Structure 1
């Protein structure tokens, strides 16, 4: 590792040690930690802060790097808030930013190492280095860094609104999302760079049953909790129908061309074999099953406040990820039909529709694919529907080419540590991520 690489890594570790944890209860958020993060940036990246214009929107940040001539700008996005973590159960403290191993196997352990300070700091490193060498983009480049993506995304929403008010329509927006992965698609041995061209809608659906309370020694035949439990099991027994969208088909065709064995014949005939593929995707894994349908997961339950009292209100929250091509209204209607009980109130909370689909061809797609290919020449670049939600969805009103891609090679184990214990990233992987952003910026 060169001296420059070591210095970049230490800057990354410095920012990872600042516990910028998002909390749904805003009053519980440690805002001084967010202020420390923002104050640290000019100290760590002086050339960037001398060359770029800066604005602060609450705790979110917007930078403008003026280009050499007029033209539609590019926006690189990331967020610096992280989900909460304590030391309990972690191999290394979540905000210790500790290093283990060496060479290609050196790991950096920290909350936010991937989600999403990894991308944010990689962007900063790429811009800082390019400014120092005297590079200036052809067209404007904006850096949009949100502070509350893990909760409500108000920062990114505000920045998108500000750009809209100024009449700015970016040519390309890139936010976190897919990654460079291996062995996720049967028959394909090459690395796969999955680029989100859209993302599912996300809605918390609240199921509520209200009933007279009383002493638990004399319960009615059907309590509120029983009625709620019955509604949950009915919903679980009636999953949403599987569908293959145009993006799904494009992904299967793209990857199928690189498959080996008998599956190649199936995947390259995706359009004619859609019924078979819906069954295959439904059985391969949880990830493939989620790709082709709206999903529901009961994440919260609430009943009585006392062990010996009947609940007057029983409530469940169903985290619902709405497939592209569907809608919030269609989702609620399916849930009501599945439950078949008018005594269970069904309502959407914080509803968000699926995002429009960005093109998987054309100059902006080609520009991103070329940047990925410059660093990962063996990777097959393919569109996909992002299963989670990102700040990028707030920019679809001002840009037709919004992509979700995190430029890191991530194993299944590393992806599984997101929002969980032992989040970590290979240092070499992070450095290659900087190279992808650098290639993209040079093409701006």
Structure 2
């Protein structure tokens, strides 16, 4: 049975621990080579009939020549994963084990959702369409990055290469939103949220340098206390919430399908937004993140001995910059919130928000119609992607960049992204393959 074979392929590829790390020298690149070798074995037609290139040793490009190359498309995914210490997992993170039966059957493991599931679903769809003799109307590029979880150099290099060759895709589809049914309780139907832009991403380092000494005679304000106070002041001053044009489109779409007073407010968002914004911010962290620049302390460093005062302490603030803001505005807000000249702020890995892709025209209408046909009864709506993806690099060569993962993801599964017990419904994975088959046939 074809579906059983597709599941076996995903199991095998999830079992290869392609963990990318901030320090590339500590990454086990032999696993990445093993992954590429497994793809050759599992997808022979993709490797014999498509043109395959390797970029920066490990990122992959496949070119499927169509009857024309004037309006190509690109399907993106990445095969590196974040680390997965085995402690606390119900199933081993790199075993690709199955559990349950029927519609409740799951596949467990790091990368099932983020993002090997998409890599494998794309290749399964292409392999089956090649077997069926399909020749696409336009060229299709398959681009699989190797370090999306760290620096995204693979995707950037792929774009450099395509740009040199004059390739300008009319449609670029990467990971992002999904099929969800538990974000907006005013709507009964499942929703396909499609990212038309993504927030900027930056790491801010807060550093305090101060004289040390013995812990038995501490001053009133140690470096650690000063840093802690700065963090607390920043935490107490969140970025202002705003409703962008995309956010308004999202709420209006929800309002069309919602009933009662809530539906009325959402349908008339153009003048009810002053009432809606504070309500949405309080409703959930997911909704709040859609409306503002976010800040999160992710790392703390300092100290060299249990009985010595640290002379340098620092914190990393992971900032996701709203599309109606900028890196400069973010720095201004953080500086004013901390309000302490002895806390030094430096920017690491700055990244501005992406351009907003259109919600009209060929690329959007093709994506929308394919989603509606593949997932009957699903409401399609644009939104702003909170996380960073490889697609941000492709905005250099395409206006039609969209972020949508064709899998149903309940909240309990979304919560496993970059966390323990990452898993995916087998039925969702198979639906994703069918989505890519349909999309490819229309390109």
TM-score range relative to shorter protein: over 0.9
| Residue of structure 2 equivalent to 1:374 | 373
CA distance in 1, matches of 2:376, 2:110: 30
1:338 aligns with 2:331: no
Rounded Cα–Cα distance in structure 1 between residues aligned with 2:368 and 2:2: 27
Aligned positions of 1:146-161 closer than 5 A: 146-161=145-160
Alpha-carbon distance, 1:221 to partner: 2.1
CA shift for structure 1 position 107:
0.7
CA contact (8 A) 2:293 2:319 kept: yes
SS in structure 1 of the partner of residue 341 of structure 2: coil
State whether residues 186 and 259 of structure 1, in contact with CA within 8 Å, keep that contact through their aligned partners in structure 2: no
Counterpart contact for 2:182–2:410, Cα < 8 Å:
no
Preserved contact between residue 80 and residue 120 of structure 1 (Cα < 8 Å): yes
Alignment check: 8 A CA contact 1:186 1:263 kept: no
Mapped contact 1:181–1:193 kept (Cα < 8 A): yes
User: RMSD across aligned C-alpha pairs, in angstroms?
Assistant: 0.8
The alpha carbon displacement at 1:100 in A equals: 1.1
Counterpart CA distance in 1 for 2:361 and 2:286 is 28
Residue correspondences, number: 442
Who is 2:251 aligned against? 252
Q: Which runs of 5+ in 1 are unaligned?
A: none
Matched residues in 2 for 1:82 and 1:380: separation? Answer: 30
- Give the aligned partner of residue 60 of structure 1: 59
Give the aligned partner of residue 20 of structure 1: 18
Q: Helix, strand or coil for the counterpart of 1:189?
A: coil
Instruction: Determine helix, strand or coil for the equivalent of 2:349.
Output: strand
Matched, 1:103 2:96: no
Distance in 2, Cα, partners of 1:147 & 1:318: 25
The gaps in structure 2 that reach 5 residues or longer are: none
C-alpha separation between the residues in 1 aligned to 2:369 and 2:437?
12
Q: Is the 8 A contact 1:108 1:424 kept in 2?
A: yes
Q: Return the match for 1:37 from 35, 38, 48.
A: 35
Match of 2:3 among 2, 5, 26: 5
Q: Secondary structure at the match of 2:300?
A: strand
Q: In the alignment, which residue of structure 2 is the partner of 1:82? A: 81
Structure 2 partner of 1:313 = 312
Q: Is the 8 A contact 1:90 1:422 kept in 2?
A: yes
CA contact (8 A) 2:321 2:353 kept: yes
Residue 436 of structure 1 pairs with residue 429 of structure 2: no
Question: Structure 2: how far apart are the matches of 1:423 and 1:337?
Answer: 39
- Alpha-carbon distance in structure 1 between the residues aligned to 2:112 and 2:68: 35
Residue number in structure 2 paired with 1:180? 179
Using the size of structure 2 for normalisation, the TM-score is 0.99
After superposition, the C-alpha distances for 1:122-179 in whole angstroms (9 at most, x for unaligned) are 0000000000010010000000000011111110010011111111110000000000
TM (norm. structure 1) is 0.98
2:235 maps to 1:221: no
